């Protein structure tokens, strides 16, 4: 139950920041990274397979390693 609540809160948090990014094209595409993370999390919650877990891990790592301070991932 805690995982579901965490997942929903994460999706809501990520979704709320997607609309708030700047139009600066110099850095990584934070909106795309955040959306990829949200999609991977949703897929993993629907089907916690090894493949979906690997996709979630990759999306989380990509977001954590970016310069997108407004999209912090804590897992």
pLDDT in tens, 31-64: 898 899 999 999 999 999 999 999 999 998 988 8
pLDDT tens column, 8-39: 666 666 665 555 545 445 556 888 988 999 99
Q: Has residue 72 been placed in a domain?
A: no
In this structure, is residue 47 part of a structural domain?
Answer: yes
Top-confidence residue, 61 or 72: 61
Domains in the chain, number: 1
> Has residue 6 been placed in a domain?
yes
* Residue 40 maps to a domain: yes
Long-range residue pairs from 65-74, CB within 8 A, at least 24 positions apart, any chain: 66/27, 66/28, 66/30, 66/33, 67/27, 67/28, 68/27, 68/28, 68/30, 68/33, 68/34, 70/17, 70/20, 70/21, 70/30, 71/14, 71/17, 71/30, 71/33, 71/34, 71/37, 73/10, 73/37
Q: What is the domain extent for residue 49?
A: 2-18+29-65
Is 75 within the bounds of a domain?
Answer: no
């Amino acid at each position: 139950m805690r995982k579901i609540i965490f997942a929903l809160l994460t999706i809501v948090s990520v979704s709320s920041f997607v609309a708030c990014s700047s139009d600066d094209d110099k850095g990584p595409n934070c909106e795309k990274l955040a959306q990829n993370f949200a999609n991977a999390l949703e897929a993993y919650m629907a089907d916690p397979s090894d493949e979906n877990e690997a996709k979630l891990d990759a999306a989380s790592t990509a977001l954590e390693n970016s310069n997108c301070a407004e999209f912090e991932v804590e897992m």
